[in-house]
Amino acid sequence: MTREAGMLYIYETPAETAKELADLIVEYGASAIESRGRFVVALAGGNTPKAAYALLAQAPYSNAIDWSAVEIFFGDERCVPPDHEQSNYKMAFDAFIGPLDIPAVHVHRMRGEDDPQRAAFDYRGVLLDVLGEEPFFDLVMLGLGPDGHTASLFPGQDPLTEDEQKVRAAYSESQSQWRITLTPSVLNNAEAVCFAVVGAEKAATLAAVREGPYDPTRYPAQIIAPPDGELIWLSDKAAAAKS
């Protein structure tokens, strides 16, 4: 099966990669707001996007787009309370959602404090209420774990498990933690999906995911292939060293 691995853009440092990611966010945001009146984005969690999110809270990014026209969703969440240090929502709120005073009505967090199955069911409802039966994103942001996971689609399980649920609970063996995640059919229904990957520890996985044999149960990030959108990879030289 020929698959579109997506364009890989390589930058010298993690800081430069973060700037490029911030640029990409406001570029897609401005375009979406101009053509559709709003910017629907699913945020990545983890550490990599933090620096880019912090840039958004500063000029020129803070006044680059109308942040009140942004609908913020999350690609996944750890099953912890929203004020927990591991919360993806807290990370994004502290970095730019709070500083930019983005209206809470437009910030759709996954309720990590609730029972995982319940939280997944409820988030499906939010997704469909706000975006309709076939949720479509202007931009989906993702990271890549060293084990090949993305969002909370972990190796060892077919990432298409319960894909029709659009949102599902997932248990991370490596983190011994329940998670909530959007499923591939939702993650792939986007104008653009952008991975940001930095660090030498990701180099072998990045190469395997983009260039290796197609085995999405081993490398769940390989399931990401937006049929009607762009697949973009932003990485620093260290993470791209084996690509």
Q: Decide: is 44 part of the binding site for ligand 6PG (CB under 6 A).
A: yes
Pairing mode, if any, of strands 76-78 and 177-182? Answer: antiparallel
- Min dist CB 221 to ligand 6PG, Å, is 9
E strands present in 83-182: 139-142, 167-172, 177-182
- Min dist CB 50 to ligand 6PG, Å, is 8
Question: Candidates 9-17, 55-63, 113-121, 140-148 — which segment interacts with ligand 6PG by CB under 6 A?
Answer: 140-148
Site for ligand 6PG in 62-81 (CB under 6 A): 75-76, 78
Nearest to 99 by CA among 56, 137, 133, 69: 56
Helical segments of the chain, H only:
14-36, 50-56, 88-92, 116-131, 184-187, 203-211
- Min dist CB 219 to ligand 6PG, Å, is 13
Query: And the tokens for 13?
Result: 């440092």
Helix (H) or strand (E) holding 9: strand 7-11
Site for ligand 6PG in 141-180 (CB under 6 A): 143-145, 149-151
- Min dist CB 45 to ligand 6PG, Å, is 3
> Which spans of this chain sit near ligand 6PG (rule: CB under 6 A)?
44-48, 75-76, 78, 88, 143-145, 149-151
